[in-house]
Structure 1
């Protein structure tokens, strides 16, 4: 294919994508400049992912001290749960249910609640086999990471919708 024709096709494809409103997803613009994370475990993977997503926002930064923040997101519950859903007659586990749970609230510097206590619970079912224990352990970790990312995305959308900060 000739270089001129290739450039023309690339320009046409770009024009079509631009005309349809295609745009890469980016971090939402949050309506406050600083936020503090409170109540999370020290090494919580959920808190770390939330911190990275908030810092990716062009308008907001995470600060360590609540006294320096315009708003504080307080984790009331940050938990991962695992329960047996099905087992064989011999008592071997066949299916597990994994749950990721975050209960949080958002308040401003004056202590007024902007988002009342809200709970996000996600669950995934997973088959299990003793002969594939290592692979199933990796699958479980992958499912937890996926649920964690979903929870962070939901929290970010809720933070972006907050109004009346002052």
Structure 2
């Protein structure tokens, strides 16, 4: 014996009407899924702290969106290959680990993980497109010395999530630039 549910044609019509009304309501309020970003430039020079994890992930994200990313290791061939249409300068890219909670005996109980990323965007003629922007993300993590390996893995996971979040924020800010 199979357990199949059949829906009457009358009930199916009501369900379709309800789904259509919901879709119409969402589109009327301005709701739309986030689309792939569009940029005012095709080529970007990435300079300063190119070897950090955030910079590498940012370079990969921009290339995935169709931007040609130049670095100090990129060979200079073709017009504009030296500078690119825009120059993204990474001023600060650092990770911090701060003790925020201790027991009366001085044992660490809570840590705060921070990722700080500071950048600016300009044209090769030094026109500022995005002035210095500091992105600071913080995550709290409990600590237990008997679970050091698990807490280390959790810490690395939180840093990776913060890194991805920063990359997405930078990409959205770069896409907000409408003209050079």
For the criterion TM > 0.5, the same-fold answer is yes
Consecutive unaligned residues of structure 2, counting only runs of 5 or more, are: 1-5, 7-14, 75-80
* Mapping 1:35-114, distance limit 5 Å: 35-42=44-51, 44-58=52-66, 60-64=67-71, 67-114=82-129
Quick one: distance in 2 between partners of 1:79 and 1:118? Answer: 14
Consecutive unaligned residues of structure 1, counting only runs of 5 or more, are: 2-8
Q: Is 2:165 aligned against 1:150? A: yes
* Residue correspondences, number: 163
Q: Which runs of 4+ in 1 moved over 3 A?
A: 16-27
> What corresponds to 2:78 in structure 1?
none
1:56-86 Cα deviation digits (max 9, x unpaired)? 114x221235724101110110000010000
Q: TM-score, normalised by structure 1?
A: 0.82
Partners of 1:27 and 1:53 within 8 A in 2: no
Structure 1 pair 136/40, CA: closer, same or farther in 2 (3 Å)? same
Structure 1 pair 53/17, CA: closer, same or farther in 2 (3 Å)? farther
> What corresponds to 1:6 in structure 2?
none
Where 1:111 maps in the other structure, the secondary structure is coil
